[in-house]
Amino acid sequence: MALSEHEQRLLDQLEQQLHADDPKFAHSMASDTRKSMSTRRLVIGSLITIAGILVLLAGIVNQNILIGVAGFLIMGGGVYFATTKSKQLDQGQPAGRPTKAPTGGKSGFMASLEDKWDERKRDQS
């Protein structure tokens, strides 16, 4: 369900306030799709993992420890590759970060929310 225009504005204001109050926490909680796991890396890592399992099984069938260890290392490398982020994605500014600080400060923001709350209460009565 999509948010209404009013709800979206309130959410944007809350997000800006969070960035102003605690930018480190806001940065850690930002949902940036570019920083999420890459589908390409996941597929390639899965294929490498499957290849590692096959090499491991070949080592077991041939009763060769070195081939089995190599297969295990390949398998581990594939899992590591699939679950890590690309270094290219870590560069740049996060998308959820506001470009300039909100005006009015905390008291102005809270006052506007309280006014809106009071207005809703009056409308319900």
**Domain range for 50:** 37-84
Q: Establish if 61 belongs to a structural domain.
A: yes
**Domain-located, residue 57:** yes
Whether residue 93 contacts residue 56, with contact meaning beta carbons closer than 8 Å, is answered with no
- Number of structural domains (the chain) is 1
Question: Model pTM?
Answer: 0.46
Tens-place pLDDT, residues 44-95: 999 999 999 999 999 999 999 999 999 999 999 999 999 988 776 555 544 4
pLDDT, residue 100, reads 46
Angle at 115 between CA 14 and CA 119, to 5 degrees: 115
Q: What is the pLDDT of residues 7-25, one digit of tens each?
A: 888 888 888 888 888 877 7
